[in-house]
Structure 1
Amino acid sequence: MSEVPCAGEPGARGALRPIELATGAVLGGATVGLVTIGSIVPFAAALQLVAAVPMGLIAHRHRLRTLVTASIAATLVTFVAAGVAPAIGLVASATVGGIIGTVKRRRGGVVAVLGLSTLTGLVWASFAIGSLLAMSAARELLFDNMRNASRGIQDLAGRQSQLAPLGRAAADLTDSALRWWWVWVAGSVALGMIATGVFSWFVLGSVLDRLVWLPGRDRLDAARDDRPIAPLPATLRGAGFRYPGAAQDALRDIDLTVEVGEFIAVVGHNGSGKSTLTRLLAGLPPTSGTVERPGSAGLGHLGGTALVLQRPESQTLGVLVADDVVWGLPTERADEVDVDALLGEVGLGGMGAKETATLSGGQQQRLAVAAALARRPALLIADEATSMLDPDGRRELVDLLADLPKRHSMAVVLVTHHEADADAADRVVHLAAGRSVEHLPAWPHPVRDTRRRPMGETILELHDVRHTYNRGTPWEAPALHGVDLSVRRGEALLVVGGNGSGKSTLAWIMAGLIEPSSGRCELGGKPVAKQIGRVELAFQHSRLQLQKQTVGAEIADWGGRATGSGAVGRALDAVGLDRALAARSIEELSGGQAKRVVLAAIVASHPHVVVLDEPLAGLDPEGRADIVELLARLRDSGLTLIVISHDVADMTAVCDRTVHLRSGRMLAAESVHESTSVANSFVPHNNSQPLRSPRDAAWRLEHGGR
């Protein structure tokens, strides 16, 4: 078994670290759900047996105090939600999971399990006896009920002469057990704990072994720095970093100084070392060279360093916008924050009472900036914060970030692979292969790919499709308004629109994952929602769709149980990946590889139509060109593609037609280029969707990408 990175190894001391708090909260919450549902829902009691797995994972990867903290919090929540018995069940699950996880982490065996189980059994036995001694009245009432029950059994058995001895034996056994109740209770609890521990070692231990590949390292976790918080100026001298187990440095020989008042852009392609550089600036010690600052980086602390990440929804914790701005701040500091002023500064004025789930992607990024500013950071790092936004949203966010050092005593570092984002920067740092370079290598834009086979008849049709989230409630959120659309077999259709235009809702409806509030979405004349799997959806964040340990297992799972290694290999061939990748862990994939693996899995499932939600999001120019080339090959194989993307310039190289969404309405459809032959023909312009007047959306969608 490979070594599991954990914060519980020697040297990890002090308060719980962010990764420990996050893991404890998530897995503790899962345990609460399993125990509560198992105790309330009929025929779901088996879920309580599974409840030891999350707690085992915590003990397997982190310190004992992480398990104890998560267990106490989970027990209190379970007690409030379901009562005493489920709360006791949760403690039992935490105990078993803690024993097995701890022994696994310490690389012990069944002997260690026996020892811990015996010790724990004695503790539980003492607790049980102590409780019964303390509650004498309740104990006597319980014992009286048991005596009465045994007498009743004796009386019933006495009516049949052959059963009378059994009745007397049962009564005598009950009397003996109640006379020596403390021995029976202690013995049964202790032996039960030992038996459970040994059984769980083979069952739960096997589960933990299978889950060892799951990621558990916090790449921002650094040794405790007790100096006063003072992240600037930060000076890197020959700084480099190599991740544990890596064959080469991710970053090397970096010389950089960040001063108060600067707006610095770090530009590079995927894998260039940009994110590693942000981690060094955020406080991670380099493995070579030095990073000098007058105090600690103070990541997440008042006056320290703040991070705004690529996916803003992963940083959104509050239900309301105003709550999210001050989430996690000490009460006294939260009371001092002028939330309305901060929201106005980032362009969200008057939106404090809105639900965070109704914000567009651009608005969520602005909210993340407001939450960072509430901590008065000296250094704000925006790591690929613009990569998931439409062009307008990207420009607006860059303008906002560029203006912050002019109004606050701080520095801003923007990490991006878009050269245009760096235009407003005071300085630009270019990274390639982990080193600082003068300029990035140029990558050509994809050129128009000539269609090699004609399109067929209409395969997917939407008629007057409308959708409203939370319909009929005070939180009603209209998303689509009367969408009409026809897609032909073998066509590559591009759907464009800004953040919040309804693109992702349209994608989910076309994939049959949600049914429209009204109207029809049909594949071959039948509702798509009744043909799940015929239209596959590739998510914007590909990693969310990859659930298996290896690439081959993932592709085989999509293709069904009959999918053999040959079919997996052919699927990898179809997306331009080496067949040797089938054995690689999902966790080792780059962003571009993850997108290709999802497409390979989709190819293996033999869909009629594929909907791709922002397939170029987060990729550098080389990765974008590769995906466009791949989509052209899939289109020419006869697959019908519906591409939802902000990247019009790149995607028109492969798409036949473009349709526009604004505020949930279809504005127009147009050909990407004039056809030169019947074989290359596509839907003529006079068959386009009717032009509809635009209207600003009052609500945004709940799904990522929007």
Structure 2
Amino acid sequence: MNQGTTDHTETKTISDLDGPETIVNARSVRYVYSLPEGRKIHALTDVSFSVTRGEYVAVIGRNGSGKSTLAKLINVLEVPESGHVVVFGIQTDDDNHFWDIRKRCGMVFQNPDNQIVGTSVEEDVAFGPENLGIDSSEIRLRVDRALSYVGLSDLAKRAPSSLSGGQKQKLAIAGILAMMPEILILDESTAMLDPISRNEFLLLIERLRRDHGMTVFHITHDMTEAGRTDRILVMNKGVIVMDDKPSRIFLRQAELVDLGLDVPIYVRLAFSICRRLGLECREEYLTSLDAAVDAVSHMLITHAPRLQDPKLISDNRQVLQLTSHPSEDIGTVFHQDEPAQVDQDRMNTSILIEVSHLSHAYEERTGNAISDVSFEVRRGEILSVIGHSGSGKTTLISHLNGIVRPQSGSVLVRSASGDRVYDTKRNSDVRQIRKTVGLLFQYPEHQLFEETVEKDIAFGPRKLGLDPDSIPNRVRRAIDLVGLDETILERSPFELSGGQKRRVALAGVIASDPDVLILDEPAAGLDPVGRRAVFEYINELKKIGKTIIIVSHNMDEAALYSDRILVLSNGQLQCINSPEALFSDMPEIERIGLDLPEIVRLMLAFKNALDINVNPVVFDLESATEELIRAASALRDMQTPEPDGGAHA
């Protein structure tokens, strides 16, 4: 690129650096974090990139790869050790003019609690515009508009402390939108949003870009989000290793996997189908979900192998008939949730937690956070709890180990041996309940407090009185299971990246070895390798008889890993069912307003494109590939004339 400069020595500005539309330009940037005892972390090494006005740029990479540091350099929260960053023609190390950059940049952090300052929702949203000196009448308009954008208008008078994690994230976003920044920087800002809220926010971003020319710099681990941008920067160990439009980045799937990253499910499925059919996966297939569906559908119809055995065709027709209207006979086809008649005593010992008519209301809220909720947790199962932001999920799980006591109803917890039942209402039982039931909060970094990672992980086992000689091994095993290197043990937990903090907090719960693990969004903020490591460990725990309760907004993970899924809406239990039964009942899904797993939505798109009864209720890539190959093969056989001129019966 041609690079011209204008000398403004007094203000250290640089204009026309990469053309008139370039508003961010970084050249040869290096940044080092200095740690105690002289240790250093090289967060960025020789980083160069530019951003043009109105561009939507995604930044992806492993936890600790330098993404957040890069974002902070744009907003002048940090300045480079060497090299330069120029924003709006102003060098960020210009002490006299860096505020001119901050006024025009807005950043939403990973943890919304770090940037909420108001005593009410509307006061918090007004804080930014007030500091910009905006007229009070204009501030009122901006606050109302921003709250409407994120769906918090009805909560304007509420205290931020009374909001759910997802609602707090919406509040943080609204506070920045009210400032109407020219550059919006999002640091994993959608990680705690439910799928519907996340999609609404991404649509809002598209609208703001279209109507106001806003530039967006979006750090994310969600590859589908990244696929909706103009361009992706891929970071690895402080270096930008790829910089291109999404389709070209995704075409390099193997390289991304080697870097510990992933691609959207529609890209993975396109590659999988191409491999099965012996075809090349082309860039034009990967530009969007619709493009992938169209291209793969054509390949399937043209190249899918024929099913030579008429019996397979007959069996296929039966399967298709079965899955064409699954909700009509859901109890017969999919509903395996109700246990068979068994000895009552044996049934009782298989129930680990019993919740009966549980209700809870917070003083600062109107109505119940949860209302008349009853269900049982079975020994050795993985139970996912899902629902929109503010539906009562965190309140519910806080009752399960006695952090919050029932105002109405009861929570009973059975001991590991099965010979005792503890009541969360009894003070004498709570200590034993907390030994049995471990809880990882929605923002687990709040659970970190020791001076080193090793001491933090060891704290729980020591407080439980476990054998001191066993604790070092517990710590190292826990660190290994969450995918961290032992070299991290001597570091302060407060100097880690957001994703690393989450893994350390999870390791702290794991090291205490409770019988029940309750994990509130355990993989939020983790890179793909970290997410897989968490769920692989969860599966290992299940194999040895542990019971796991997971609060999640990720429908694909809930469907793939859970034995049952509990759905909350407005504090009420809507249903508790197997993933197959839940996501097959489309009328129920629509009634609740629940989003589908991405892979199910993708399969529904193929069903419509192929005009064939594809079974959409599959939760993994291999099953989806096999189902599409089978359905397309059957369709070809049904359409192929027999030698005598007839068709297959």
Letter in 2 for 1:241: Y
Q: 2:127 aligns with which of 323, 327, 345?
A: 327
* Residue in 2 that maps onto 1:306: 106
Secondary structure of the 1:393 match is helix
Indicate the larger mover: 303-312 or 287-296: 287-296
In 2: Cα distance, 1:619 partner to 1:282 partner:
23
Which stretch of structure 1 is more off in the superposition, 591-600 or 624-633? 591-600
**Does residue 598 of the first structure (1) align with residue 505 of the second (2)?**
yes
Please report how far the alpha carbon of residue 485 of structure 1 lies from its aligned counterpart in structure 2 after TM superposition: 1.2
Aligned partner of 1:520: which letter?
Answer: S
* 1:348–1:606 CA distance, 2 compared to 1 (3 A): closer
Which runs of structure 2 are paired with 1:529-568 in the superposition (5 Å)?
529=425, 530-532=429-431, 533=434, 534-560=436-462, 562-563=465-466, 565-568=468-471
* Whole-angstrom distance in 2 between the partners of 1:565 and 1:306: 48
Q: Which has the larger radius of gyration?
A: 1
Alignment size in residue pairs: 448
- Map residues 362-511 of structure 1 onto 2, 5 A cutoff: 362-408=166-212, 410-438=214-242, 439=249, 441-442=256-257, 457-470=350-363, 475-511=365-401
- Deviations 1:643-702 (CA, angstroms, capped at 9, x unpaired): 11122323444432222212212222223479xxxxxxxxxx9xxxxx999789xxxxxx
Q: Do 2:28 and 2:82's aligned partners in 1 also have CA atoms closer than 8 Å?
A: yes
SS of the residue 2:65 aligns to: coil
Letter in 1 for 2:461: G
Offset of residue 299 of structure 1: 5.4
Q: In structure 2, the residue corresponding to 1:258 is in which secondary structure?
A: strand
* 1:190-205 alignment runs, 5 A limit: none
Task: Tell me if 1:572 matches 2:468.
Answer: no
Shift of 1:273: 1.6
- How many angstroms does 1:332 deviate by? 4.9
Q: For the residues of structure 1 that align with 2:472 and 2:454, how far apart are their CA atoms?
A: 8
Deviation digits for residues 333-370 of structure 1 (CA, Å, limit 9, x no counterpart):
25142232343345445654344345454443343333
Mark the CA change 1:592 to 1:566 in structure 2 (over 3 Å): closer, same or farther: farther
Separation of aligned partners in 2, 1:560 and 1:311: 29
Q: Deviations over 1:108-131 (max 9, x none)?
A: xxxxxxxxxxxxxxxxxxxxxxxx
AA paired with 1:512?
Answer: G
Structure 2 residue 105 is matched with structure 1 residue 289: no
2:72 partner letter: R
Q: 1:270, CA displacement in angstroms?
A: 1.5
Give distance in 2, aligned partners of 1:579 and 1:303.
42
Do structure 1's residue 268 and structure 2's residue 61 form an aligned pair?
yes
Specify the SS of the correspondent of 2:565: strand
CA spacing shift, 1:669–1:340, aligned 2, 3 Å? closer
In 1, distance between residues paired with 2:355 and 2:589? 16
Q: Which amino acid aligns with 2:354?
A: E
- When normalised by structure 2's length, the TM-score is 0.62
* 2:78 aligned with 1:277: no
SS in 2 for 1:540: coil
Consecutive unaligned residues of structure 2, counting only runs of 5 or more, are 1-9, 16-20, 93-97, 243-248, 250-254, 266-345, 415-420, 583-587, 594-649
Aligned to 1:558, the other structure's residue is in SS state helix
Q: CA RMSD in A?
A: 3.6
Q: CA deviation at 1:555?
A: 3.7
Distance, in Å, in 2 between the alignment partners of 1:485 and 1:300 is 55
Q: What pairs with 1:156-235 in structure 2 (closer than 5 Å)?
A: 233-235=23-25
* Separation in structure 1 between the aligned mates of residue 372 and residue 487 of structure 2, nearest angstrom: 47
Is residue 259 of structure 1 aligned with residue 63 of structure 2?
no
Whether contact under 8 Å (2:382, 2:547) holds in the other structure is: yes
The 3 A distance-change label for structure 1 pair 426 and 496 is same
Secondary structure of the 1:548 match is: coil
Match of 2:424 among 528, 534, 559: 528
* 1:380–1:411 contact (8 Å) kept in structure 2: yes
1:625 to 532, 536, 542: 532
What code does the residue aligned with 2:256 have? P
Q: Could you say what secondary structure the match of 2:526 adopts?
A: coil
Instruction: Report the counterpart of residue 205 of structure 1 in structure 2.
Output: none
Distance, in Å, in 1 between the alignment partners of 2:493 and 2:134 is 42
Q: Is the 8 A contact 1:551 1:597 kept in 2?
A: yes
User: Which runs of 5 or more residues in structure 1 are unaligned?
Assistant: 1-224, 447-453, 675-684, 686-690, 697-706
**Greater RCO, CA 8 A, separation 6+:** 2
- Cα distance, 1:531 vs. partner? 2.0
Q: Percent identity?
A: 34
Query: How far has the Cα of 1:469 moved from its partner?
Result: 1.0
Deviations 1:425-465 (A, max 9, x none): 2322222232223346135799xxxxxxx996211100111
Residues in 1 aligned to 2:589 and 2:58: alpha-carbon distance in whole angstroms: 40
Supply the distance in 1 between the matched residues of 2:155 and 2:11 (Cα, whole angstroms).
38
Contact 2:25–2:50 under 8 Å retained in 1: yes
TM-score after normalising by structure 1? 0.57
Q: Which residue does 1:340 correspond to in 2?
A: 144
**1:413–1:596 distance in 2 versus 1, CA, 3 Å:** closer
Code of the residue aligned with 1:260 in structure 2: it is R
Instruction: Give the whole-Å Cα distance in 2 for the aligned partners of 1:638 and 1:510.
Output: 19
1:495–1:661 contact (8 Å) kept in structure 2:
yes
Does the 8 A contact of 1:628 with 1:651 survive in 2?
no
| Structure 1 residues 550 and 609: CA distance shift in structure 2, 3 A | same
Contact 1:272 1:432 in 2 (8 A): yes
Q: Aligned with 2:256: secondary structure?
A: coil
- Counterpart for residue 49 of structure 1: none
Quote the Cα distance in structure 2 between the aligned partners of 1:382 and 1:596. Answer: 21
Cα offsets for 1:133-180 (capped at 9, x unmatched): xxxxxxxxxxxxxxxxxxxxxxxxxxxxxxxxxxxxxxxxxxxxxxxx
Q: For residue 576 of structure 2, what is the aligned residue in structure 1?
A: 669
The one-letter code sitting in structure 1 at the alignment partner of 2:202 is: V
- Any conservation in 2 of the 1:667–1:693 contact (CA below 8 Å)? no
Do the aligned partners of residues 502 and 250 (structure 1) sit closer, same or farther apart at CA in structure 2, a change above 3 Å counting?
same
The equivalent residue for 2:115 is 315
Distance 1:694 1:318, change over 3 A: farther
**2:407 pairs with 511, 517, 530, which one?**
517
Cα separation, partners in 2 of 1:316 and 1:597, compared to 1, 3 Å: closer
